[in-house]
Chains A and B, each alone.
Chain A
């Protein structure tokens, strides 16, 4: 806790709606506490805008604890800003210099349609999950939890993949706007666990297909996604996804359509 204040100039992308023309507008953020988060700094700017009768800058945010994945935009060309493994809600103003000029713009990708200002629609990621990012188990009849043994190393690795918060920074950071890191994290999480084995191939096929259908670009392994990821999801997930997809593709079987006797 430093107790110091700084002044900033913000160049913020303003766009009323998906069909409107967007442009940068300049604002002064004065007397910003170094202990405030980036979003708290924007709150203060917005309070001033509203007091003047202007529309506040729209941005998505919710938990402000770095875990829900709702917040996210680009600061000076970097998704979630300059700090490594930090969401924008956990980015504190002590990391910026007094007098700095910051450019703030939304995550840009064809699969993330513009909503307003810094908000974009990331529901494509939900559709990738609904295409196979689950284990099909109905409620109420699961076996005792300890009947499924999972080696600690596998559980830990699955957990590391599962920490993806689906914020979309990987897509915004990628020159191809690829969702490979997001999709591969979920495929890895489930492929590493015994519970995920039965649907493993089907899952890889469907999720990769859904990702492409949503208009995300291909992965060319530049690693920009890993560098921008606030949860340090690793590129090895993408290698695993590619392997899962390849194996699934070459060993797929036709579905049987036989009805049962009865």
Chain B
């Protein structure tokens, strides 16, 4: 079989690749644009910005989301900020430095050309969002404010209080709603994508379930964009919103889109620790807090004194001690692992021994409570509400939790998957972040893909591809819709004894235990024995009450959990095959003094998995990565 993994990286030096590629891309003349239809699945930052831009250009866009309103997409919850290489602070930033930091931060497992493009367009993103009225923080002179973020030594992060994601999403959403008003975008809310329709080898439409009526609908188009976010909910407890699912991406995978680097998941270091068995999700405290908060644990094992009673010389500010040049701003994977080590040593600070302190006492002394409140007030209030403790008076307690997923559907430089005409944007694709994501880069990638990449690369596809007219009466649509209905009927007819959530929790425990912050061969092999058992029991013993012909939340969850079970298995296989540590993938066998030990000789590649059928082993393909500009080197933040 021919290798489908052609990354299509343009030739030329790194600085001119994107410029040259844009020029050599085919154009679609304005009168022809309105003859082309494009489906966008997901309306978070990537989906809404794509729908808005493509609508503006004149294409007929259909946008789909599972939410009641696009403004609910999980991008809304990103707090800290968005990076851009503006160098407004005159502190040595540049496009090249953002590119360099991101390649290094991703532990040399991202494609250089994609990352450079991301750094290039980062400056346009800020301009665009400001023009749309996003109320970023300002200095007294009226210019934009910046702060620094994990993994960076310059201040390049733009922010809107602790609600940057919300403000950016509302910006992209309002631009999309403008196109809805202009009738270039048709919005379909409360719809879940359950299949991609492929005709003559090209993506030509989708099958969705109307979540209110249960109706299975078919929609055709000339191209499909999936922007459905990440899959951290595979862990059950994660920082993701409850409706975040892998379903759209997974269904596309089953239709032939390769899934790349599924084992690359990010564990975020600053979450509110788990409180009990009934907990449904974990809440993130923004990474921006590490600008002023100092992370520590008691020096003595088992020191259970109140934190305010532990004197300075009996505290271990371990990040500052181990990583003096980055200190509390060490990257997320590094900070998370260090927190785990301290807790493994018995120095964890909550009842379960699974937390470390994030202390603002010094910052409050230095800057005053007002300044701290201005910077982080809403985050402090949120912490207070959840835990019942006042972080102005005593340190916060934090612990790492599953957050962002760097893996996703494989795409080439054009963001096109291995199914021609199926494009993937934002967190749903695997590109740009490598094995670890630095702070404030997820919002950047979502908007880069939607506003500045897809409008060119989709145009190039439509301009250069012969597309026959298809209708939803085509056999392929009927077959796909039939398949979707059959699966739903099968699930409804199980009528077993266990709730959907009980399966999700069981899967989540296995994933966290064996494919979480640390992985090893024995654990992954164990998980690969456990997961098929969960799958077997799910398909024989799940209980979904009610029927499928109207709103049925349990049915929605069941479909998503079924997909998570299959994805979980692939994640473990991917983690098992990758005999090295890199970024968020930490194989305990491959380390030097607790730091990740990469194997560039054997694993400097993207692993892209091909689905070969139900209960058959997926096939692993490789895309070799070359580093011509940022030379392969051991990542060090010391």
Contacts and interface: CB of A to CB of B under 8 A. Distances in A.
B174 A133 contact: yes
B133 interface: yes
Contact of A139 (B56, B350, B389, B497): B56
Contacts of B198: none
A135 B189 contact: no
A47 interface: yes
A2 to B, nearest CB: 7
A58 interface: yes
Contact of B74 (A44, A53, A62, A66): A62
B163 A63 contact: no
Interface stretch (B107-115, B276-284, B317-325, B525-533): B276-284
Interface string B262-282: 000000000000011011110
A148 interface: yes
Interface stretch (A35-43, A216-224, A239-247, A254-262): A35-43
Contact of B71 (A54, A119, A132, A166): A166
Nearest to B88: A146
A86 B386 CA distance: 11
B178 A90 contact: no
Interface residues of A, number: 81
Contact of B241 (A41, A63, A86, A134): A63
B276 A56 contact: no
B388 A92 contact: yes
A152 interface: yes
B280 A39 contact: yes
A152 B140 contact: yes
B138 A152 contact: yes
B25 to A, nearest CB: 14
Given A119-B551, A145-B127, A36 B279 contact: yes
Given A17-B550, A68-B77, A122-B68, A134 B178 contact: yes
B181 to A, nearest CB: 4
B132 interface: yes
A70 B452 contact: no
Task: Pick from B160, B501, B545 the residue with the most CB of A within 10 Å.
Answer: B545
Nearest to B180: A130
B69 A122 contact: yes
Contacts, number: 235
B67 A62 contact: yes
Contacts of B129: 145
Interface string B180-204: 1100000101000000000000000
B128 interface: yes
A23 to B, nearest CB: 18
Interface residues of B, number: 86
B128 A140 contact: yes
Given A33-B275, A43-B280, A66-B382, A121 B554 contact: no
A76 interface: no
B30 interface: no
Contacts of A61: 242
Contact of B553 (A35, A44, A56): A56
Contacts of A54: 545
Contacts of A56: 545, 553-554
Interface of B: 49, 52-53, 56, 67-74, 76-77, 86, 88, 124, 126-133, 135-144, 160-161, 163, 165-167, 170, 173-175, 177-178, 180-181, 187, 189, 212, 241-243, 275-276, 278-281, 283-284, 350-351, 382, 385-389, 451-452, 455, 497, 499-502, 543, 545-546, 550-551, 553-554
Given A17-B551, A151-B142, A152-B139, 14 more contacts: A35-B388, A37-B280, A51-B499, A64-B241, A64-B280, A64-B283, A68-B72, A125-B69, A126-B69, A130-B180, A133-B177, A134-B132, A159-B137, A193-B133
Interface of A: 1-3, 17, 33, 35-37, 39-41, 43-44, 47, 49-51, 53-56, 58, 60-70, 83, 86, 90, 92, 94, 115-116, 119, 121-123, 125-126, 129-140, 142-146, 148-152, 155-156, 158-159, 162-163, 165-166, 189-190, 193, 195-196
5 contacts: A17-B551, A55-B545, A129-B177, A130-B181, A142-B128
